């Protein structure tokens, strides 16, 4: 069966799967960004306890594999009375994993803001929270956006792992179709192409647009 005939027959299932993949991606991205910001700021805190908590979080999630984290959240947490539905467990694991990598980017971005900006904010009598929100973070964001583009691609690829706990994403649908038809080249080839299109023509252009947009907002064009 050629790729065209194959797609004509199976496109609804691949499309449904791609929809779930996109949903997982968006939810995990939102969670990942929130965690990155939180952990990145905590790692720069004066308080040793907050700093220690952030370092522990980052090292645990960067030091173990996403598959291990996913299985732990899905199979082990219920033993502690915390049962999480598989769809939720999926984006939770992926988002928490990406959050640990993102935290380092946030930290680097904040440290890259010149010292004069901190002093200027202090000089005009801003509170630390105001200074962070209105002076430091916007500039840090522009500096760290390029590596975030790569991280978002890693996040998209990471969502393929949620198929291991049977979330019916694109990867899962591809495996199902493969095991009932054995048209491996067609189904896996089509799935690879869909992931490529999502990464190259949606995620990357959006991140590029965001970079330009933020730079313009700060008057750096």
Partner 1 sequence: MFDWKWDFTWEILPRLVYATGNTLIAAGAGYVIAVVLGLMLALAQRTPSRGLTFTVREFVEFIRSTPLILQIFFVFYVGPQFGVRLSPWMSGMIAIGLHYACYLSEVYRGGIESVPKGQWEAAIALNMTTAQKYRRVIIPQAIPPALAGMGNYLVGIFKDTPMLSVIGVAELIHTANAIGSENYRFLEPYTMVGIIFLAISLPAAGLIRLFEGYVRRKLGL
Nearest CA to 168 among 116, 104, 90, 66? Answer: 90
Nearest CA to 162 among 43, 20, 2, 41? Answer: 20
Residue with tokens 């005009």: 124
**Looking at beta carbons only, is 118 or 188 nearer to partner 1?**
188
* CA pair distance 162, 182, nearest whole angstrom: 22
Count of residues that interact with partner 1, criterion CB under 8 A = 40
29 binds partner 1 (CB under 8 A): no
58 binds partner 1 (CB under 8 A): no
Instruction: Work out the angle at residue 67's Cα, subtended by the Cα atoms of residues 63 and 73, and round it to the nearest 5 degrees.
Output: 90
Work out which of 108, 175, 176, 211 binds partner 1, going by CB under 8 A: 175
Work out which of 11, 75, 206, 209 binds partner 1, going by CB under 8 A: 75
Tokens of 1: 């069966």
Smallest separation (angstroms) from partner 1 to the CB of 33: 20
27 in Cβ contact with 91 (< 8 Å): yes
190 binds partner 1 (CB under 8 A): no
User: Which residues bind to partner 1, rule: CB under 8 A?
Assistant: 59-60, 62-69, 71-72, 75-76, 79, 153, 156-158, 160-161, 163-164, 171, 174-175, 178, 182-185, 188-189, 191-192, 195-196, 199-200, 204
């Amino acid at each position: 069966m050629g790729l065209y005939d194959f797609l004509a027959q199976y496109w609804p299932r691949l499309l449904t799967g791609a929809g779930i993949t996109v949903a997982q991606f968006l939810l995990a991205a939102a969670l990942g960004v929130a965690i990155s910001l939180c952990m990145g700021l905590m790692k720069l805190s004066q308080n040793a306890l907050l700093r220690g908590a952030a370092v522990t979080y980052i090292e645990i999630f960067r030091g173990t594999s996403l598959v291990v984290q996913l299985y732990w959240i899905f199979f082990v947490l219920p033993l502690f009375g915390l049962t999480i539905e598989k769809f939720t467990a999926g984006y939770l694991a992926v988002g928490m994993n990406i959050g640990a990598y993102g935290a380092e980017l946030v930290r680097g971005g904040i440290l890259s803001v010149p010292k004069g900006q901190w002093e200027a904010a202090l000089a005009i009598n801003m509170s630390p929270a105001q200074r962070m929100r209105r002076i430091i973070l916007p500039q840090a964001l522009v500096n760290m956006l390029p590596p975030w583009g790569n991280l978002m691609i890693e996040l998209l690829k990471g969502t393929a792992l949620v198929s291991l706990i049977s979330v019916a994403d694109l990867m899962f649908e591809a495996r199902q179709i493969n095991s009932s038809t054995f048209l491996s080249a067609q189904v896996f080839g089509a799935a690879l192409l869909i992931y490529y299109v999502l990464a190259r023509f949606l995620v990357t252009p959006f991140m590029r647009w965001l970079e330009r947009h933020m730079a313009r907002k700060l008057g750096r064009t």
